[in-house]
Amino acid sequence: MSSIRERNKELILRAASEEFAEKGFAACKTSDIADRAGLPKPNVYYYFKSKENLYREVLESIVEPLLEASAPFNQPGHPGEVLRAYIRTKIRISREHACASKVFANEIMHGAPHLSAERTAQLNAQAAHNIACIQSWIDQGLMARVDPNHLLFSIWAATQTYADFDWQISAVTGKATLDDSDYEAAAETIIRMVIKGCEVQEPA
Amino acid sequence: MSSIRERNKELILRAASEEFAEKGFAACKTSDIADRAGLPKPNVYYYFKSKENLYREVLESIVEPLLEASAPFNQPGHPGEVLRAYIRTKIRISREHACASKVFANEIMHGAPHLSAERTAQLNAQAAHNIACIQSWIDQGLMARVDPNHLLFSIWAATQTYADFDWQISAVTGKATLDDSDYEAAAETIIRMVIKGCEVQEPA
DNA sequence: GTCTATAAGCCGATAGAC
DNA sequence: GTCTATCGGCTTATAGAC
């Protein structure tokens, strides 16, 4: 069908993710996005109407995966299982949606001026739920009395950092890109600090 | 002495930190910086020559504190003491140099295009030293066999997040700004995860 | 040293040919 | 539906009066 349309939109979206991630919204030019997509600049406007619109679509593309990452919190489970699954999924998002993750981080850093109120509310509601969940585990004696807010902030930060600060991580490790075993080591380090650090009880 | 000059430069630097942190380098206008500083725009160019120059000065202002934060690693000490001091200093920088921290994070996220090679080398050398230090503790049996790279990345991320993602933290906690006890709780949560999570041995 | 008024150029956006 | 050629606004930067 409208295969050309779909293909071009996809090409532009991918190119835009990369450009926005690399330089940020204001610093990147639509002509660079078009060039990277291998299409003339007016096509970008034809399909997306404006630079801001295109940016918003890139931003939206990461919200769904981020909300889904909290799925383990939305069904009953032992704290250890839930936290492990959550951390692994967060790390996977940083790896598989690296560009969009970085765009999202940038957006949040600047006060989320382009994120719809609805999306903001969804994300905040999910965060509140996760925090309440952790608090209930603490109240049940299933883990130590840590502040659930700060625990969650640490998990977010430690997992997001692999997308956001990939340049720094490359500089320090000397590896241009991390491989499976590096991501595995990252996940295990974070999981260890959370599980052991917060004395999360394993099911009997 | 040249009190007017010094005072004006200071006003502009402060205003620039805030503007750059809020909107990013490309998105912010020199006229807004001038307005925020309460000075006419040409003064900005008179004192700093160019927008990029001004940006670089803001960036430089945070490098020294960041390097100094690693001081505990540069003198002999028990791992627990060193890590505790390091985390507390990192958190303090996020709080006291919130704007410059955010500007720095933004710069790193985009591959540090404005950071001098010299500064980059200094920061990388210090990171390498800290990692080697952690590795030696592991080799001495003073802490568990965690990957020192990932441990450091987690500490950086968890402490930086209070500057970088202050908007998100406000949204989740419902507090416009965190107070002493919030930062204390943040530090304790991170310290706990690192010390307990990595089984850091306390001195006998 | 300070500031008003202006130049110069870049980039988002589109008109209009194909 | 696609792209060339161009406009128009906005922002950095400065010339030159005070």
Q: Cα–Cα distances in Å, from B147 out to A66, B76, B111, B159, B165? A: 26, 21, 24, 19, 26
Q: Which of A181, A179, A186 is nearest to A162 (CA)?
A: A186
Q: What is the pLDDT of residues B73-84, one digit of tens each?
A: 999 999 999 999
Q: Specify the residue for token string 């080799």.
A: B139
B185 CB neighbours in chain A (<8 A) are 147, 150
Give the right CATH number for A56-197 from 3.10.20.30, 1.10.3720.10, 1.10.357.10, 3.40.50.620. 1.10.357.10
Percent of chain A residues topping a pLDDT of 70:
99
C-beta atoms of A150 and B120 within 8 A: no
Q: Contact at 8 Å (CB) between B18 and B28?
A: no
Q: What is the pLDDT of residues A33-64, one digit of tens each?
A: 999 999 999 999 999 999 999 999 999 999 99
Residue B3 has pLDDT above 80, yes or no: no
Q: What is the pLDDT of residues A83-115, one digit of tens each?
A: 999 999 999 999 999 999 999 999 999 999 999
Q: Which of B78, B104, B79, B101 is nearest to B90 (CA)?
A: B101
Cβ-count burial B151-183 (b if 16+ within 10 Å, e if not): bbbbbbbbbbbbbbbbbbbebbbeeeebeeebb
Predicted confidence at residue A6, as pLDDT, reads: 86
Predicted confidence at residue B2, as pLDDT, reads: 58
Model confidence band, residue A1 (pLDDT cutoffs 50, 70, 90)? low
Of A158, A185, A198, the CB nearest to B158: A158
Residue B204 has pLDDT above 80, yes or no: no
> Rounded mean pLDDT of chain A?
96
- The full set of domain ranges for chain B reads 1-49, 56-197
Q: Which helix (H) or strand (E) holds A41?
A: helix A41-48
Q: Specify the residue for token string 């004696």.
A: A141
Residues 103-122/B with CB within 7 Å of nucleic chain D are: none
CATH class of the domain at A1-49: mainly alpha
| C1' (C2) to CA (B4) span, angstroms | 11
Mean pLDDT calculated for residue range B176-184: 98
Please determine whether the domains at A1-49 and A56-197 fall in the same fold group of CATH. no
Predicted confidence at residue A11, as pLDDT, reads: 93
- Helices and strands of chain B, counted as H and E runs: 10, 0
Predicted confidence at residue A2, as pLDDT, reads: 59
CA dihedral A66, A68, A70, A72 (to 10 degrees): -150
Model confidence band, residue A3 (pLDDT cutoffs 50, 70, 90)? confident
